[in-house]
Amino acid sequence: MNDVLVSFDELVSTLKQILLKFGFEESRAIRCATLFAKTDLDGVRSHGVNRFPLFLEFIEKGYVKPSHSPTILSKIGMFERWDGNLGPGNLNAHFAMERAISLSKEFGIGCVTLAQTNHWMRGGNFGWQAVDAGCIGICFTNTKPNMPTWGGSEPILGNNPLVVGIPRKESPVVLDMAMSQFAYGQMSLFAQRGQELPYEGGFDQQGKLTKDPKVILENHLALPMGLWKGAGLSLMLDLLVSILSGGNSTHEVDHNGDEYGLSQVFICFDPVKLDLMEWMEQKTDTILDNLKNSAVFEGEAVRFPGEKVLQIRSKNLKSGIPVQEFTWEEILKQLEV
């Protein structure tokens, strides 16, 4: 499957022009387009522009409201609850993390929850948003049911992504992972290429593990990462987001197979306000040095979450961002409509 190389500026400009046609105000179109483009810029091709056509489809169906922004529901000190009003998920998430950052600068800790929001696309964007502001950031979301509980035979849990970001001068540490062994966006890329997964990633209809992404996608039976542990963590994240936000839980966001009305939580710690800065840098470096100097099997290497992102970002800024040719053609067609 062929790729085309697109500059970051061209990618943002193209997506922005399309979003304007779909009812976005100028500044919101730029920010939304930038968040999509940043995802592919950082090499996370499973949650970037490949999902843009589906995003537009959800706008046309009325699930995503381009002009809607969050409205506050309650505020108590460092804790705020907001209604996302079914606005664009990445814009709502960016707003919520910005609020959590602001609260942490005031109180040392900030927690913001969102009810009735939409898919945030790449959750890692908001971990990087926190570390770029010098904060420790944590955020998590629920999804529609796309994973069985351990021992179950139907999709009942969400793969509920979790993001943790820790700032660092040399290279921040940013973990971005779903509770399934493979994210659905990643499995979709394997399916489009006609490739099997490198490891078993889910179940077939007989309950047997399979590497076939098409079978897993059809059945929505992704394998929980860590087996029963991933299933348990998924449940706890769903409980936390729905309780703290007052929003929908996983079983309530599945609308005849479509996913909207999600619940999310964003937490920030400001190391400066909490007087942790010097200690954090020292401790983080010590832990990562120990990790990087650990013994490895022949031909293997150890790396920490987010280690390669800055390198990939720099390369793609210089050489262009790889985008699947058929995806780019589908996007460009929107300019002709």
Catalytically active residues are: 47
Q: Which helix (H) or strand (E) holds 176?
A: strand 173-177
The H-assigned helical ranges of the chain are 8-21, 26-41, 52-61, 89-107, 124-132, 184-192, 213-219, 228-245, 277-292, 309-319, 325-336
C-alpha 79/C-alpha 98 separation (Å) is 13
Gap between the Cα atoms of 73 and 279, Å rounded = 36
Q: How far apart are CA 181 and CA 33, in angstroms?
A: 29
Q: Which amino acid is at 148?
A: P
User: Which residues make beta-bridge pairs with 258?
Assistant: 255
